[in-house]
Amino acid sequence: MATKPDFQGHRPNFRDPNNIPLQRLSESPRSSDSDIHGPLTPSEVHKLRQLHGINTVETGQKRTWYQLLFRALCHPFNILLIILATTSGATEEYKTMGIMFAMVLLSTLLRFHQEYKSEIAVKSLLKFVTTKVIVIRYDVLQVKDIEISIASSELVPGDWVKLFPGELVPADVKVIDSKDFHVSQAVLTGEAIPVQKYVNHLQARSTTSISTTSDYHSSTETLTGTSKNGGFPSKLNPSSPSRKISPVRKFFRTMFGLPVYSEQNISDAEAGLMVSDLDKPELCFMGSAAVSGTATCRVVYTGSKTHFGRMATELAKRRPQNAFQLGVRRISWIFFITMICLVPPVLLLQGFIVKDWYAAFIFALSVAVGLTPEMLPMIVNTTLAKGALQMSRRQCIVKKLDAIINMGGIDILCTDKTGTLTNSIVTLHRYVNRQGVSSSSPLFLGYLNAHFQSVQQNPLDSAIVTYIDTVVKRGSISIERASRRALAAASKRENPMFSGLAAKFSLQDELPFDFVRRRMSVILKESGGGDNHHHHDENTILICKGAVEEVISQCTRMLDDTEMTNVYAVIRNEVATYPLTSSVQAELLELNEELSKDGLRVVAVAYKNLGSVNTFRVEDECDMTFVGFLAFLDPPKETSKEAIKNLQEHNVKVKVLTGDSPLVCKKICREIGLSVDTIVTGKDLAGASEEQVRKLVEEATIFAKLTPIQKSDVVRALKKNGHIVGFLGDGINDAPALTEADVGISVDSGTDICKESADIILLEKNLNVVVDSVIVGRMTYGNTLKYIVMAVSSNFGNVFSILAASAWLPFQPMGSLHILTQNLLYDISQIAIPWDHMDPEFLMVPHRWSMKSVLKFMVMIGPWSSVFDITTFLFMYFYFEIKTLDDDVNLFQSAWFTVGLLTQTLIVHMIRTPKIPFIQSWASLPVVCMTVIIMCTGLALPYIPGVSDWLHLSHLPWQFYPFLFSLLFCYCCAAQLAKVIYLVLFKEWY
């Protein structure tokens, strides 16, 4: 057993303030380890922070306002518009150029405004999610080392930090003391199996000053004690051959939002720490997670100088895009391809038919602008930002905006039981021996086990300590079937067993809990205070507490405590024990099952007398003596029943993934109204094939006795079955499943690794918050899809209309200024879409991005607008007899300008709902107001002095308006008919 550092009373002489390098702690009990330095003083911390900066890693997500402005301006659609506007200016079409630049300015400013607001909102919200760490520093006033809790960003090289299970390693550190300390390095190596970290005395070497180190790479050898060699970590090392990206290719990949990182293998200089360093037992790296045990470590590198910091940018570049991101990119490509395919035929047709190649060229440019959905990025960003704001008002912080879309699409929610379905206010309900009779033996052995843990206690341990402190010490008798005689004696202080129990023992060692053994033990030594004539200085006892089956499997005897009232008799091995036969084991398991059926969470307590052993290992948890059971009650939340009902009404199935007993979980589920069809345990999954697992996850509601990896396997199997899966958890055992899920959901009180792995963090651990988030996600998805399907269907219809007009009419059906003005007004009308609402029926079912659905919608709805465009052509051609260039072409163009603007503005209301607009479903007030404003503007433009002349718009005769309103009515009816046909054929909307 490794001794612990002496944190108090050992302090080196003050250092020269100009000499930042730290001196070794010469008086430390571990002074033989030359790598150990004393905790820092406040002045040293200040100087080191000035030298090294704060302990944060830039991943490319934090952007300044001018970076956001540049990003908003340099969108592919804006670049295209700038090119077209510049071309128009070169041909002295200054009006056309002005309108194009106005569209660029409008799109850029709107997108910048929304992204800047979103950036500010996310930064302010993430302040609620802080990562704390226990650090040991020297207090110059108290003249001793003290432990304080600080934000991990405040760490500096040289700090001493204490790490516990569930915490993220906050920097690159070197272990100076540990006890059964295991970390998961999956984020660095891809290996899910935790590795043990400890002081490697054989490899310990002196290190030079870390405080004055300015170059990370040159000091890697100093940190590890070895020269750098080997390859890049397996998870990050590309297997493809080296290949550089040309500047031209990089420019176009940047334009279209494609990854621009080089596919070449990263050099050793860029890689930082190597695999050989990751395998070193004394080194832990930022981003890895403490799984079990405890450790005290010295910070070596912080922030961008850490291994994770060096790789953060590369990791961010390599992050795969989700279906929504890929879908938006493909939609952008559809628009570009449509434009490229349409503009040349229009140019040729206009050139040969109109015989004016200059006018044909300007018209083709205007058509290209009309087919460019320049508002797409603004609409997407605004809807996501608005969704994030709505969710924050519901006590939900969104770390990744795209997760909102996935949140609306989940059809299965996997959740842990404790604290989510239950109150997480655990109380000790019963303590019984092997016969089910109340007994003080398991109570007080369990208390000693919980009291002496140095690792953070779980709710069960807290319940034991609270029970002793409140019920026993105060003599309150409120537990069913309690040991009344023992409690009465305790209240009168007649029995030394209850008087200052913990003070009679000293902690020798502990074997921390892990999710494989599912138990933990403390090794105690009696230090005096019992019956003096029976006192033995060398009495050492191992007290084990854990899952019933796992503890009983390591027991060979059982305690007969029917007459025993003094816990010291157990310590001194002065009590009767009997062999634990297989039949008794069966009886114990049956008793456990009976308690579990009552909704009680049961743990077993056992002990082992060790004599005068000085070293302790996990293997010592054998040949133990079974004492009894502790049964805890964690009642379901009052809100859980309502939340489960709401989730089911919104077609989200709930599955419970827990490490707890299946019987306890089943009772809780029934109390909250969650029907249980099938229960699957970890043993069932361990022996099943992949096909069997995929079948089991569909049938089962409860998955009990799961390991952390098995939770992840269940989520993965559900995803393979075609589900969008959300996972809600807050414990370290939930981290793998959070990473695997489509949407990882944690809480602000969860472990660091969970908050880091999650996409969404709840400020309140309540399933009703999840219900609200699902609804907001579906609304956000619906509003985003409104614009996308509207844009693709309108553009698809415009293709046929423009081609038909260009091939038939001996003049341009609409002037270039008309097209640009119409497109500008149309874009303005769409600004209000993110503030629209969705029909209740739409919010009741999950939705996932489907490119096929968008294309089907485009084909079914798009051509209808062409029918009415051609009808307008025919009306103007035959009724007003505008057939040649000598006729009133300006009137023809003004008429189609008005018809096109009104129909495109109305399409928002037709596509936003499968119902009949304005009768069965109304849009939100901002959308209605914007529609009225734009339609009135379009009708008024031909009559506004100066503007009509500048745009070359003619006054429309009164005979045109009956046709116009009849056309709009018929257009709405036809669009509604098309929607009905679409719903009949495809049984879906969007």
Give CA–CA dist 956/970, Å, rounded.
Answer: 21
* Joined tokens for residue 772: 């609200």
Query: How many other C-beta atoms lie within 10 A of the C-beta of residue 311?
Result: 24
DSSP 193: S
Q: Whole-angstrom Cα distance, residue 72 to residue 108?
A: 5
Q: Measuring CA to CA, which residue among 285, 306, 403 is closest to residue 757?
A: 403
Interatomic CA distance for residues 242 and 335, integer angstroms: 33
Q: What is the DSSP letter of 973?
A: H
> What is the three-state SS of 705-717?
CCCHHHHHHHHHH
What dihedral angle (degrees, nearest 10) is formed by the CA atoms of 748, 749, 753, 756?
0
- Rounded CA gap, 608 and 447, in Å? 16
| Surface-to-core class of residue 653, CB atoms within 10 Å of its CB (0-12 exposed, 13-18 middle, 19+ buried) | middle
From the DSSP assignment, how many helices (H) and strands (E) are in the chain?
Answer: 36, 23
Q: What are the angstrom distances between the C-alpha of 430 and each of 435, 436, 828?
A: 13, 9, 67
DSSP 850-894: -HHHHHHHHHHHHHHHHHHHHHHHHIIIIIS---STTS-HHHHHH
Q: Is residue 248 within a helix (H) or strand (E), and if so which, with residue range?
A: helix 247-255
SS (H, E, C) 487-521: HHHHHCCCCHHHCCCHHHEEEEEEECCCCCCCEEE
Question: Choosing from 35, 172, 402, 416, which is the catalytic residue?
Answer: 416
> 416 an active-site residue?
yes
Do 196 and 181 meet the contact criterion of CB atoms below 8 Å apart? yes
Q: Is 183 helix (H, G, I), strand (E, B) or coil?
A: strand
Rg of the chain (C-alpha set): 35
Strand partners, 296: 162, 177
Separation in Å, CA 702 to CA 41, 145, 418, 656, 792? 52, 48, 13, 5, 44
C-alpha to C-alpha distance for 742 and 726, rounded to whole angstroms: 6
Cα–Cα dist 511/294, whole Å:
10
Nearest CA to 727 out of 748, 717, 712 is that of: 712
For the four alpha carbons of 500, 504, 508 and 514, in that order, the dihedral sign comes to: negative
**CB of 785 within 8 A of CB of 660?**
no
Instruction: Quote the distance between the C-alpha of residue 805 and its chain's center.
Output: 51
**What is the C-alpha separation between 548 and 596, in angstroms, rounded?**
11
SS3 content of the chain, % helix, strand, coil (to 5): 50, 15, 35
- 127 DSSP 8-state letter: T
Residues 6+ apart with CB under 8 A from 298: 35, 36, 37, 158, 159, 160, 161, 173, 174, 176
The token duo for 888 is 């009133």
Catalytic residue set:
416
